[in-house]
Amino acid sequence: MAMNPVETVQLSHWESIPEPGVVAHALDALESGCVLRLPLAFPLEEGEQVVLSDALLDGSRKNISYDPATGRLKGCVDDPALAGRLRAVMARYARLSASLLDNLLPAYRGQLEAGRTSYRPAEIAGRPVRSWRRDDTRLHVDAFPATPVNGRRLLRVFHNLNPEGVRRWCVGEPFPELARRFFGQILPPARWQARLLALLGLTRSLRSPYDHYMLQLHDRMKADLDYQYSAGRLALAFAPGETWVVFSDQASHAVLGGQFMLEQTFYLPVEQMVYPERSPLRVLEKLAGRPLV
Ligand SMILES: [Fe+2]
């Protein structure tokens, strides 16, 4: 079924139980690589407005991450009162994101593994970046060098916490098209290389051939300026208090501007998808002519 790159779902609150029609539509849209847009506010509570400041960053990184399992914050300034407020906000966001997906995507119930919660309080536009590889204002699919996913999907829940400004994104061409476009440029992975990276502690586990192809895709897209300028793209602006959900390993996207964004990552095994043939893993395996995990 042909979909728009962005589909809107109306839910009154984070713990709403949607109609079966809404559930089927949301699942089909997400597994097609669409951005699911939800006008779903995440209100701050009394005293929590202090988190709306980029002074929370300790300068070591662009994001503050929260580990729901340990309650640890990384990247936050050493101020117990401020950190306490932020921890409460991020813990609540992690919990409500899980409830949202539990009700909206019952097909994945019990199969989603929660990853880190992330808060990005700094303005994106005009921020200097250390290299083109880290430049998320270029179209890309998400793939991370140090944390192999072995084919698992990256499902992310984003929220624009900024009470005043939009978060500007754009989305690019469908995954099968970009995979076909760049696949021929990618050298097959070498097994000794994956072993060496793991041995040196540069990856947390052995980098699978799938992770190799995804990282290469991420890099080829960002490095190709002709592609960046000429690829079809759709500009999106997420309003204050808007939420969006996307398989960010599949939907080509770029972040152009905005401040104060919350994000919760979930991992999903490909076999738990309703349409696994649409996953980046299956698309790439078809192109490679062999299993990649
Ligand atoms: Fe990204």
Q: With pLDDT > 90 as the criterion, what percentage of the chain qualifies?
A: 82
For residue 36, give the 3-state DSSP assignment.
strand
Distance 224 CA to ligand 1 centre (A): 16
pLDDT at position 204: 79
Instruction: For 180-192, write each residue's pLDDT tens digit.
Output: 999 999 998 887 8
| Among 169, 140, 144, 146, residue whose Cα is nearest residue 154 | 144
How far does residue 136's CA lie from ligand 1's centre (Å)?
6
**46 C-alpha to ligand 1 centroid (Å):** 31
Centre of ligand 1 from the C-alpha of residue 134, in Å: 10
Question: E strands, the chain, where?
Answer: 6-8, 35-38, 64-67, 72-74, 113-120, 153-160, 167-171, 234-238, 243-247, 253-257, 261-268
**CA 179 from centroid of its chain's CA atoms:** 18
Tokens 């919990």 belong to: 95
> Which residues place a Cβ less than 5 A from the ion ligand 1?
142
Q: What is this structure's pTM? A: 0.95
Q: How confident is the model at residue 1 (pLDDT cuts 50, 70, 90)?
A: very low
Give 254 Cα–ligand 1 centroid separation in angstroms: 7
Query: Which CATH number is 6-288's, of 2.60.120, 1.10.150, 2.60.40, 2.40.160?
Result: 2.60.120
pLDDT above 80 for 2 = no
| Residue boundaries of the structural domains of the chain | 6-288
Tokens at residue 86, please? 């932020």
Give per-residue pLDDT as tens, 230-255.
Answer: 998 999 999 999 999 999 999 999 99
The span from the CA of 105 to the CA of 68, in Å, is 21
Residue 39 buriedness (CB in 10 A; 0-12 / 13-18 / 19+): middle
Please say whether the beta carbons of 174 and 251 come within 8 A. Answer: no
